[in-house]
């Protein structure tokens, strides 16, 4: 081996056929996947489903002809799988008459020398790699070694083959390189397994021979008796010899490798032990073997601990062939440690430990006092651990096992039959309820985890007739008290889990069948169900949630038609009216906000299912509407006497109206009176705060009114903008088109003004956050309504004669940016390892709770808690926790991400969000990437959107450059461009990027307050996502036109101004990037550089125009660089690069078009406000958003 190890692999492969040698790369891999090599065994391990028994037999034939060459082939196989390609070609002379240990030492020395010269990684090899072909190696390699040991004749094994296999594999298993050690250990473990197969085969032969010997003796067949006795004796001796050799090799292997530094090697040992025990459990129950499991329970690797517990489970399983006393000694030693592992930090280990505990309990070796630690794990939040604990409880705690589904489950959409064995189902449900009553101690929220662990496993949870008979009053088996509350929690948790599976399409056929059965049993019994739950608030909350899921499922199935048509008759006629009356009564009586939310959602579904429900819901709405209108004057001071405090009464009514507004228009389309009254209360608060008075409208009432108003305005906008046909969300609302046309837009504008005043002056941060969320949400919904209307018009589904447009005025834009800066400043001040918020909703995804709802849920919770502690109007009374700061900031950015209103896109808000790419918090970086992803997707669809995309990016870089300097702005450019694209952009995107760079050049030169700005734009060029010809044309344009932008006419002064702006560095970057790029030679015409004032050409990828694009643009296309150009005074005052004026006007109305022709003084003022100047900001936007500029 000494000379062989020094020979390069290329020389050894010189005799290889060309068609094979050409497949082998320097890394020892084939192009198609798998290790390279021409040896039969190497080809076998990389082949899909090879006949390994035949391959092993062929190797035995080669061994009989030349044992040294055959052993060299096995050593080569180990080295190939260990991924040592430079030393994998082992020849016959390398192993003949040499000690395996000496060969391994030579191998280690050679590998160490090579690694010191070239470097090497011995942690990744074919047994752990994820490369293509590695899975086949992991499957075939161990089986091949087992077949070599199990298919050999016993005589051949005992005459020298076994000794050679043992010596070489154990020697290689001592190699200092872990890849070789791992491959050799796996080989040796499977040789032991193959020997076990031989021993079991001989044991069966001996048993059969013993029976035949007894028969021959009884028959007096002496000759046959003698022959059988000799064969039996020979087989027994051979079996004993093989068993001794197996045990010696196995012990030698486990004694070293179970303590190996590589966790993969240790895990392989214990996994092999489990297989050995499965084949011959009595042998491996002895102390000689089980001692390795004792210290394996304390292994630092969780996968290894799980493998140890799996091996113990195999030993402890209820096997009648094993004597009880053989198990008892083992259990006495390991039981405490197994019970401790049930609470292991790794859930997979804990689940394996619970299975071992169940095996111990099955042998009656677990004391009653040792049950409770396992039972408590039913409430564990991890599904793996709680599922195993639930199985333990149903087997050993309950008097009857409730798990009756087969392990493989049923076919999709099928359930176990219900009703035929109602007594059995009732008995099982009662056992579960008694268990809950004893172990939850009234904390019935834990029922969710028990149901999750029994989902699709216990049919008693799906027998809804039985559950209804137990839950409804008046029945023979009706329940009351805490056990009834537990039953309601059990039913609601089951329905909620099924509804979740339907929404996520996770086993939805089974879940739909469960919900269908629940709808048939419970939908018409809603009044009785609510009557049974009304005295217990917890039960009522779950009952309301139960019926919102059932009614939601019925509504969805009704819309599907076909198999779901049965839902039409469940709540038709009097049943629907009775259900509405029951929900109405509960809505008026229940104080819990969650219960009210669930009932309102049930109302929304019931409106689709029953025509008779609408009058009932409108009657409830009218009652609350009238009550609010009476309370508003009392709060304003016009009335001085009242039975209850007006503020408390108004808050209760407004809360119910806010919740009910999600189902129906609670204003009854009385825009002037209802919205005017609510807006008046908010305006009074803003005015009182501005004057320094104590406002009559408290913070919680103000937040409630803000949410109520924006929901109502959203409904009015949908009904106004798309009147025919009405959107489904408002089809059940009372509609007054005259009132909507005359007052909705005015009310929305007034709301924006009030929101701006609250953002500027309210002392409570939660009120300001609510004003921000409602303003952005209203603008988003208005823009969406316009888009949907234009889409309907294009499809010929309907049209409106005029589309009113809600604009974002300058006052609100500045206020929004200011408060957004405050939120992000506080969030970035939280340490990165604290207050993480990972549940950021995806905008537009109906399966996710919206950011708007999450914001108001957090705000209501925080204000309720603060007011409970006696907080007043002082801002110091509403201090937010770290997690709340991060949550609010992330959700506010998410609202901006979802908003496609043109005025919002032209404001500072998107650029502010994009600056979070510099944040040291991953959750805030994620909001920037979400917005960038949306803008990039739109840019690939429309030319105008491509211009907007790069405009927003340029704006963000300019903001950071103004506050943080060139270095930080350059870092932001790098981060943003990394998420812009890979390779060359599409033609339209390239032209839009060049236009943005042109605008950046003009801004950098004209604005003397932006020194070095072009240096911050160098990454836009060096990213090399634009064709080289365009870069060279841009450089030529900068050289030609740059001096004309300088404010000074003198040549020297102009040159100095260009140098200060960073023009030389920018030109050098353009030329250097173009020079290193490969010029295209294909006959594809390159686009010419668009001159100033020219629009970018349409791209082949561009889709349909933006809805209303013609009206918004006023019939013309504005200069894409003019978006950034502004006069010197403007830039000095505003300190930003992009004016508030959009590339095209957003609304088709005359008032909107007239706004673009204002006087110069008004235009200058409008621009300053739109830029969100530093003077108007309490904190500079970019500095507030990325405060750690010194770190970059």
pLDDT of 570-585, one tens digit each?
888 889 999 999 999 9
- Is residue 68 within 8 Å of residue 163, measured between CB atoms? no
Averaged pLDDT for residues 1169-1192: 31
Confidence band, pLDDT 50/70/90 cuts, at residue 111 = confident
Highest mean pLDDT among 122-126, 221-225, 1185-1189: 221-225
User: Which residues are paired to 35 by β-bridges?
Assistant: 29
Residue 1091 pLDDT > 60: no
Residue 1190 pLDDT > 80: no
How high is the pLDDT of residue 26?
44
User: What's the whole-number average pLDDT of the chain?
Assistant: 82
319 conformational bin, left if phi > 0, alpha if psi -120 to 50, beta if neither = beta
* DSSP per position, 762-808: -S-HHHHHHHHHHHHHHHHHHHHHHHHHHHHHHHTS---S-------
Angle between helix axes 508-522 and 537-560 (nearest 10 degrees) is 110
How high is the pLDDT of residue 539?
93
How high is the pLDDT of residue 798?
52
Q: What is the pLDDT of residues 327-366, one digit of tens each?
A: 888 888 899 999 999 999 999 999 999 999 999 998 888 9
Which is higher by pLDDT, 396 or 1117? 396
How high is the pLDDT of residue 872?
61
Q: How far apart are CA 605 and CA 679, in angstroms?
A: 30
Confidence band, pLDDT 50/70/90 cuts, at residue 1135 = very low
Residue 1149 pLDDT > 80: no
Three-state SS string over 235-275 comes to: HHHHHHHHHHHHHHHHHHHHHHHCCCCCHHHHHHHHHHHHH
Residue 53 pLDDT > 80: yes
How high is the pLDDT of residue 983?
83
Q: How far apart are CA 567 and CA 519, in angstroms?
A: 8
How high is the pLDDT of residue 653?
94
Q: How far apart are CA 972 and CA 958, in angstroms?
A: 10
CB atoms within 10 A of CB 802: 10
How high is the pLDDT of residue 486?
94
| Both tokens assigned to 378 | 């039913």
CB atoms within 10 A of CB 405: 16
16-30, 288-302, 694-708, 916-930: range with lowest mean pLDDT: 16-30
* DSSP per position, 1121-1186: STTT---HHHHHHH--SS-SS-SS-S--SHHHHHGGG--HHHHHHHHHHHTT-TTT-SS-HHHHH-
Confidence band, pLDDT 50/70/90 cuts, at residue 709 = very high
Averaged pLDDT for residues 588-610: 93
Q: How far apart are CA 857 and CA 404, in angstroms?
A: 40
> Dihedral of CA 356/362/364/368: which sign?
positive
Averaged pLDDT for residues 274-293: 88
Query: What distances in angstroms separate CA 608 from CA 522, 567, 611, 730, 735, one per listed residue?
Result: 18, 11, 8, 12, 17
Which is higher by pLDDT, 1019 or 320? 1019
- Percent of the chain with pLDDT strictly greater than 90: 51
pTM, to two decimals: 0.79
Q: How far apart are CA 248 and CA 192, in angstroms?
A: 10
Averaged pLDDT for residues 487-502: 94
How high is the pLDDT of residue 638?
52
User: Which residues are paired to 29 by β-bridges?
Assistant: 35
Confidence band, pLDDT 50/70/90 cuts, at residue 1085 = very low
Residue 1111 pLDDT > 90: no
- Is residue 986 within 8 Å of residue 1099, measured between CB atoms? yes
Q: What is the pLDDT of residues 769-789, one digit of tens each?
A: 999 999 999 999 999 888 887
Selection from 977, 808, 827, 801 nearest residue 887 by Cα: 827
How high is the pLDDT of residue 645?
83
How high is the pLDDT of residue 364?
87
- Is residue 428 within 8 Å of residue 436, measured between CB atoms? no
Q: How far apart are CA 16 and CA 1186, in angstroms?
A: 62
37 conformational bin, left if phi > 0, alpha if psi -120 to 50, beta if neither = left
345-354, 458-467, 925-934, 1117-1126: range with lowest mean pLDDT: 1117-1126
Selection from 160, 111, 140, 166 nearest residue 42 by Cα: 140
Confidence band, pLDDT 50/70/90 cuts, at residue 899 = very high
Q: How far apart are CA 17 and CA 7, in angstroms?
A: 19
Averaged pLDDT for residues 125-129: 88
At residue 880, the 3 state secondary structure works out as coil
- Is residue 609 within 8 Å of residue 567, measured between CB atoms? yes
> Dihedral of CA 512/517/520/526: which sign?
negative
* DSSP per position, 542-596: HHHHHHHHHHHHHHHHHHH-GGGGGHHHHSSTHHHHHHHHHHHHHHHH---HHHH
Q: Tokens 């530093």 label which residue?
A: 1174
How high is the pLDDT of residue 1009?
62
Q: What is the pLDDT of residues 146-165, one digit of tens each?
A: 999 999 999 999 999 999 99
Residue positions counted in the chain = 1192
Residue 840 pLDDT > 80: yes
Averaged pLDDT for residues 968-977: 93
533-537, 677-681, 750-754: range with lowest mean pLDDT: 533-537
455-459, 703-707, 945-949, 982-986: range with lowest mean pLDDT: 982-986
414-428, 449-463, 542-556, 951-965: range with lowest mean pLDDT: 414-428
């Amino acid at each position: 081996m000494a000379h062989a190890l020094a020979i390069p692999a290329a020389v050894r492969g010189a005799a290889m056929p060309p068609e094979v040698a050409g497949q082998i790369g320097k890394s020892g891999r084939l192009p198609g996947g798998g290790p390279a090599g021409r040896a039969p065994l190497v080809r076998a391990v990389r082949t899909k489903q090879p006949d390994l028994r035949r391959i092993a037999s062929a190797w035995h034939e080669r061994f009989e002809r030349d044992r040294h060459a055959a052993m060299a082939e096995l050593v080569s196989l180990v080295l190939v799988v260990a991924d040592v390609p430079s030393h994998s070609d082992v020849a016959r002379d390398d192993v003949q008459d040499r000690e395996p240990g000496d060969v391994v030492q030579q191998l280690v020395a050679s590998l160490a020398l090579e690694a010191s010269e070239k470097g090497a990684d011995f942690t990744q090899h074919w047994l752990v790699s994820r490369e293509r072909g590695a899975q086949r190696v992991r499957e075939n390699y161990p089986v091949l070694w087992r077949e070599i040991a199990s298919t050999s004749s016993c005589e051949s094994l005992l005459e020298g083959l076994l000794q050679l296999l043992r010596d070489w594999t154990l020697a290689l298993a001592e190699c200092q390189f872990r890849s070789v050690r791992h491959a050799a250990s796996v080989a040796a473990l499977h040789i032991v397994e193959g020997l076990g197969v031989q021993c079991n085969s001989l044991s069966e032969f001996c048993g059969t021979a013993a029976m035949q010997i007894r028969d021959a003796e009884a028959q007096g067949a002496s000759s046959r008796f003698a022959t059988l006795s000799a064969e039996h004796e020979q087989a027994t001796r051979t079996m004993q010899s093989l068993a001794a050799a197996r045990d010696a090799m196995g012990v030698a292997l486990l004694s070293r490798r179970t303590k190996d530094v590589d966790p993969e090697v240790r895990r392989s040992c214990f996994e092999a032990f489990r297989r050995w025990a499965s084949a011959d459990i009595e042998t491996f129950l002895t102390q000689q073997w089980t001692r390795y499991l004792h210290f394996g329970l304390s292994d630092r690797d969780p996968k290894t601990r799980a493998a140890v517990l799996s091996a113990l489970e195999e030993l402890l399983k209820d096997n009648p062939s094993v004597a009880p006393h053989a198990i008892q000694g083992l259990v006495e030693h390991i039981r405490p440690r197994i019970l401790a592992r049930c609470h292991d930090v790794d859930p997979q280990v804990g689940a394996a430990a619970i299975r071992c505990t169940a095996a111990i309990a099955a042998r009656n070796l677990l004391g009653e006092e040792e049950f409770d630690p396992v039972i408590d794990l039913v409430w564990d939040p991890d599904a793996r651990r709680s599922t195993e604990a639930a199985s333990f409880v149903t087997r050993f705690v309950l008097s009857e096992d409730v798990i009756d589904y087969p392990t493989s489950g049923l076919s999709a959409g099928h359930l176990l039959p219900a009703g035929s064995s109602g007594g059995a189902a009732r008995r099982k449900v009662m056992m579960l309820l008694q268990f809950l009553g004893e172990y939850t101690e009234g904390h019935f929220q834990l029922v969710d985890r028990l149901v999750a662990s029994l989902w699709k496993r216990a049919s008693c949870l799906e027998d809804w007739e039985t559950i209804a008979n137990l839950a409804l009053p008046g029945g023979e088996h009706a329940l009351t008290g805490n056990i009834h509350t537990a039953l309601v929690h059990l039913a609601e948790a089951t329905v909620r889990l099924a509804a979740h599976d339907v929404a996520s399409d996770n086993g939805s056929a089974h879940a739909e069948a469960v919900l269908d059965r629940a709808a048939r049993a419970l939908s018409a019994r809603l009044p009785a169900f609510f009557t049974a739950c009304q005295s217990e608030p917890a039960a009522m909350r779950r009952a309301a949630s139960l019926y919102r899921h059932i009614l939601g499922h019925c509504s969805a199935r009704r819309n599907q038609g076909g198999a779901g048509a049965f839902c039409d008759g469940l709540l038709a006629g009097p049943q629907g009216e009775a259900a509405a009356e029951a929900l109405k009564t509960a809505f008026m009586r229940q104080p819990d906000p969650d219960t009210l939310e669930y009932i309102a959602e049930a109302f929304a579904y019931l409106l689709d299912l029953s025509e008779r429900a609408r009058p009932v819901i409108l009657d409830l709405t009218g009652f609350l509407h009238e009550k609010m209108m009476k309370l508003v004057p009392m709060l304003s001071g016009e009335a001085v006497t009242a039975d209850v405090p007006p503020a408390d009464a108004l808050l209760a009514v407004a809360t119910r109206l806010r919740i009910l507004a999600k189902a129906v228009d609670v204003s009854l389309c009385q825009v002037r009176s209802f919205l005017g009254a609510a807006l008046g209360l908010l305006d009074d608060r803003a005015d009182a705060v501005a004057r320094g008075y104590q406002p009559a409208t408290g913070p919680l009432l103000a937040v409630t009114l803000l949410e109520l108003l924006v929901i109502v305005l959203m409904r009015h906008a949908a009904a106004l903008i798309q009147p025919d046909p009405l959107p489904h969300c408002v089809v059940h609302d009372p509609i007054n088109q005259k009132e909507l046309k005359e007052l909705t837009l005015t009310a929305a504008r007034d709301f924006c003004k009030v929101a701006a005043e609250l953002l500027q002056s309210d002392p409570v941060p939660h009120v300001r956050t609510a004003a921000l969320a409602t303003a952005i949400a209203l603008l988003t919904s208005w823009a969406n309504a316009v888009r949907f209307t234009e889409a309907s018009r294009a499809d010929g589904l309907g049209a409106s004669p005029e589309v009113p447009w809600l604009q974002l005025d300058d006052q609100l834009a500045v206020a929004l940016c200011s408060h957004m800066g405050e939120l992000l400043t506080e969030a970035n001040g939280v340490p990165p390892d604290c207050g993480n918020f990972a549940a950021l909703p995806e905008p537009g995804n109906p399966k996710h709770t919206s950011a708007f709802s999450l914001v108001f849920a957090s705000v209501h919770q925080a204000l309720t808690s603060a007011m409970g502690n006696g907080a007043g109007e002082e801002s110091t009374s509403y201090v937010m926790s770290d997690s709340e700061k991060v949550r609010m900031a992330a959700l506010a950015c998410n609202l901006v991400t979802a908003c496609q209103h043109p005025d919002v896109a032209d404001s500072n808000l998107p650029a502010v969000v994009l600056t979070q790419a510099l944040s040291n918090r991953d959750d805030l970086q994620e909001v920037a990437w979400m917005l960038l992803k949306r803008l990039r997707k739109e840019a690939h669809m429309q030319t105008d959107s491509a211009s907007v995309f790069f405009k927003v990016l340029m704006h963000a870089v300019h903001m950071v450059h103004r506050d943080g300097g060139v270095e930080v702005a350059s870092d932001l450019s790098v981060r943003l461009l990394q998420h812009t694209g890979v390779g060359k952009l599409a033609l339209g995107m390239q032209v839009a990027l060049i236009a943005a760079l042109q605008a950046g050049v003009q801004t950098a030169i004209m604005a003397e307050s932006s020194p070095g700005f072009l240096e911050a734009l160098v990454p836009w060029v060096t990213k090399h996502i634009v064709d080289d010809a365009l870069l060279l044309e841009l450089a030529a344009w900068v050289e030609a036109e740059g001096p004309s932008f300088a404010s000074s006419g003198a040549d020297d002064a102009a040159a100095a101004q260009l140098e200060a702006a960073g023009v030389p560095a920018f030109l050098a970057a353009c030329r250097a990037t173009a020079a290193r790029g490969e010029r295209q030679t294909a006959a594809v015409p390159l686009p010419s550089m668009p001159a100033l004032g020219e629009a970018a050409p349409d791209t082949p990828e561009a889709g349909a125009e933006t809805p209303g694009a013609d009206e918004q643009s006023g019939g013309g296309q504005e200069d894409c660089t003019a978006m950034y150009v502004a006069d010197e005074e403007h830039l000095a005052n505003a300190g930003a690069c992009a004016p508030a004026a959009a590339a095209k006007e957003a609304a088709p109305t005359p008032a909107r078009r007239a706004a673009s022709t204002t006087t110069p003084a008004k235009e200058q003022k409008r621009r300053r406000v739109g830029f969100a100047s530093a003077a108007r900001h309490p904190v500079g936007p970019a500095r507030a958003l990325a405060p750690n500029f010194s770190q970059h």
